[in-house]
A and B are shown apart, each in its own frame.
Chain A
Amino acid sequence: MSAAIVLAGNPNSGKTTLFNELTGARQHVGNYPGVTVEKKQGTCPTESGKLTIVDLPGTYSLTAYSLEEVVARDFLVDENPSMVVDIVDASNLERNLYLTVQFMEMGLPVTIALNMMDVADKRRIKIDIEKLSKLLDVPVVPTIARKGKGKKELLTTISSHVENKIKPLNISYGRDIDTALDKMEEMIELSGFLTAKYRARWVAIKYFENDSQITELGKKADQKIASDLERVVEKVTDHLSATLDTHPEGMIADHRYGFINSILKQGVISYAQDRNRQQISDKIDRVVTNQFLGPIIMVAIIMGLYKFTFSYSEIPIGWFESFFGWMGGVADSALSDGLLKSLVISGIIDGVGGVLGFVPLIMFMFLGIAFLEDSGYLARMAFMLDRVFRMFGLHGSSVIAFIVSGGIAGGCAVPGVMAARTLKSPKERLATLLTVPFMNCGAKLPVFALLVAAFFSENEATVMLLITLISWVGALLVARLLRSTIIKGEATPFVMELPPYRLPTIKGILIHTWERTWQYIQKAGTVILGVSIILWAMMTFPGLDQTKIQEFENQRSVITSGVSSQILDELETIQGDQLSANALTVKESLTQVDFDEAHAGLKNSIAGRIGSSLEGITKFAGFDWRTNIALVGGFAAKEVVVSTLGTAYSMGEVDPEEITSLSDKLKAADGWGPLTAFSLILFTIFYAPCFVTVVCIAKEAGSWKWAGFSVVFNTALAFGVSVLFYQIGSIVL
């Protein structure tokens, strides 16, 4: 036997955990409602054959309320799975069964995995599993997904019920609706209206629920039947509102819950204590979302995360730096002077190494964020910030999109853009996905870390917090601007579950952290490496022409011709500090010539010319031509800003034997100071999103117009902010 089954259920019911248990797949377990938007698939070997398992997005219902619901529903209809394994949170049975009932109404074969039995036990909720199974007429298997309990029983139950014939569930929705449903069912069946895919009665119910997807499909399939059905619905609607002051949608939901209640009341469930009594989560929330303490705790948590990240990553970052320094030294002695050596040392080691050097920082940051995500705190942030976000035309769920993009630091704008999908209002969605790129993603992090370490090493965590605040305020103001000008429109309701706090499992967090860190490393080794090599080539060629090289040669001979052969010998044989004073001056002037030559070569290169041509405008923001090259390269991926600066300052290096980190080089370089550094930080926060994000914006917004807009608008904004800061800063300081 080989069958396709789907896992479905409410968000936070442990669906993803069970999926991981069954398939062994490593995948993200979030605590925010609707964190899995995409389809996840895996296989599970059983005694009777291989099971293909699809993890559906978590939903509360099967209306067309959100994209997840539509995704889930379409999949169920189109793929016709041999079993729907419905994960039901035992501690929250009543609401979870609401979805179960809808699967059964669709006529799908259902097996209930009654999950979180341990939580239910703790809350002293007793469930008569056999009775539940009998009354609903579906198999029910108790599980504890977090501990992997019940997995085997679940698999056996699935395989023994896969072949069973199922009888669709018909719930009574009150006499008025029932009569109409019977009539509509007949009409639908007679004409074969949408019956190729859907059950007739279900289609009729959807007409009553005013389900946009089905009514539109209906219009396309058969205009006449569709309007006939709509007329029936209209009649009942009028009748209901006249007699009962209600409408069919409300009646249907009431009766569904009524049906569930009637089952539960037959001794299926018993509570030893008040269901709505305070749980530990609620007690925590009292403090954590408190009017005064809430915001303070939020800032403190973020500040604490930065302190933790910067202070603990400092030492390992030092190790990485010395490792790459050592590698540079090895390459220096192993290769003969020439292009290849320059490529290896300046292009690869100083470029990619600069990015890889921040691996410890990234890792610690991800570790902290993984903890926050898995614990359920992010939903509280959405709860607290919803009011603020609404003032700026965004939504509580935008908070999550922001955080996924790096709102705390170290995310990625691509999934952030995707996360905006949970927003129903297209206008809010657009505003969200245009502003999430302002967040400090994992790729911008090394840029900030580099500049902060070089110029603000005393207050690393504070400056990082400041950067975060600036990006949030900037994003909110831009959102406000967009929402009151080009994308005005309505708001989405904010009905959200606050999932109980959960202590994240160490295994989960470590897997999570490692996956992201590994992806960062992989990206440095592939995309960044490729771009670094190209940029190195652009910074090397065409190089200096023969006459220029000759000029520098002449300068050298002028210096050496004036000194005695004894000193020349000394320069050849004796190292560094032991040189006599005379020899030292000669050496210094020689290195000055070397430096000038490298500098002239760099400036004459393709990239140098591009950078210089931009300098005319960027000088107002304090950026020289080298920074310009880095920023242009940063469009490919933001880490490239670091790698390019690494290459550029490595190529003009005075003494290649001396191991200095890039931040030390920047500190010593001309034109660099806290003012320039912060201006560059501001520019990096706001300027054009990276290439991948731009593509995703285009796809998600449905047009390249918005992608183009984000490139042009963001760059203009970044430039404006940087110039303003740099100019005012120059006057004040």
Chain B
Amino acid sequence: MDSIIVGIIVIAAVGFSVRNFVKIYKGEGSCSCREGCTTCSSKGACKPDFSIVNKK
């Protein structure tokens, strides 16, 4: 019983972390640091119109 619960928790943690890192990699994830940090999903992600930068 113990092992099953632990197994589930560990798998959940792995799943959560992998998803988190994939999100960050794609520039959607929250980096949970101070605001002004544009990787935060709520504030527009790590992709603040890179088209603008490249357009130049």
Contact = CB atoms under 8 A, between A and B. Distances in A.
Interface string A26-65: 0110100001111110000000000000000000000010
Interface of A: 27-28, 30, 35-40, 64, 67, 70-71, 74, 212-213, 216, 336, 338-340, 343, 366, 404, 411-412, 414-415, 418-419, 441-443, 515-516, 519-520, 522-523, 526-527, 529-531, 533-534, 537, 636, 691-692, 695-696, 699, 702
B3 to A, nearest CB: 6
Interface string B1-40: 0110110011001101100110011010101111111110
B42 to A, nearest CB: 11
Given A39-B48, A74-B52, A522-B32, A414 B37 contact: yes
Given A343-B6, A692-B39, A696-B46, A519 B52 contact: no
B39 A534 contact: no
Contact of A516 (B13, B27, B35, B55): B35
A418 B36 contact: yes
Contacts of A212: 56
Interface string B40-56: 00011011111011011
Given A412-B31, A442-B34, A692 B24 contact: yes
Contact of B17 (A35, A441, A534): A534
A515 B6 contact: no
Given A39-B48, A534-B14, A64 B56 contact: yes
A35 to B, nearest CB: 7
B44 to A, nearest CB: 5
Given A529-B13, A692-B24, A696-B39, A340 B34 contact: no
Nearest to A516: B34
Contacts of A699: 27, 46-47, 50
A369 to B, nearest CB: 9
Chain A CB count within 10 A is highest, among B36, B38, B50, for B36
Contacts of B32: 519-520, 522-523, 526-527
Q: Give the 6 A-B CB pairs with smallest separation, nearest first.
A: A412-B33, A533-B13, A523-B32, A530-B17, A415-B37, A692-B31
Given A40-B43, A516-B35, 19 more contacts: A38-B44, A38-B48, A71-B52, A212-B56, A340-B2, A411-B34, A412-B33, A415-B36, A443-B33, A519-B35, A527-B20, A530-B17, A531-B13, A533-B9, A692-B24, A695-B24, A695-B27, A699-B50, A702-B53
A530 B39 contact: no
B17 A527 contact: yes
16 contacts: A37-B38, A38-B36, A39-B48, A39-B49, A70-B52, A71-B49, A339-B3, A340-B6, A411-B33, A412-B31, A414-B46, A441-B33, A515-B35, A530-B20, A692-B24, A699-B47
A339 B2 contact: yes
B31 A404 contact: no
A338 B6 CA distance: 10
A341 B39 CA distance: 36
Interface of B: 2-3, 5-6, 9-10, 13-14, 16-17, 20-21, 24-25, 27, 29, 31-39, 43-44, 46-50, 52-53, 55-56
A704 B34 CA distance: 24
A174 B29 CA distance: 53
Contacts of A442: 33-34
A693 to B, nearest CB: 8
Contacts of A696: 39, 46
B10 A519 contact: no
Contacts of A520: 32
B37 A418 contact: yes
A638 B46 CA distance: 20
A300 to B, nearest CB: 25
Contacts of A38: 36, 38, 43-44, 48
A442 B31 CA distance: 12
A526 to B, nearest CB: 7
Nearest to B45: A38
Contact of A530 (B13, B31, B36, B56): B13
Contacts of A692: 24, 29, 31, 33, 39
A529 B9 CA distance: 11
A515 B32 CA distance: 10
Nearest to B16: A530
Given A64-B56, A442-B33, A343 B24 contact: no
A636 B25 CA distance: 12
A425 B35 CA distance: 25
A442 B35 CA distance: 13
A67 B14 contact: no
A537 B24 CA distance: 23
A515 B9 contact: no
Given A38-B38, A414-B31, A441-B33, A213 B56 contact: yes
A343 B6 CA distance: 7
A31 B17 CA distance: 36
Nearest to B1: A340
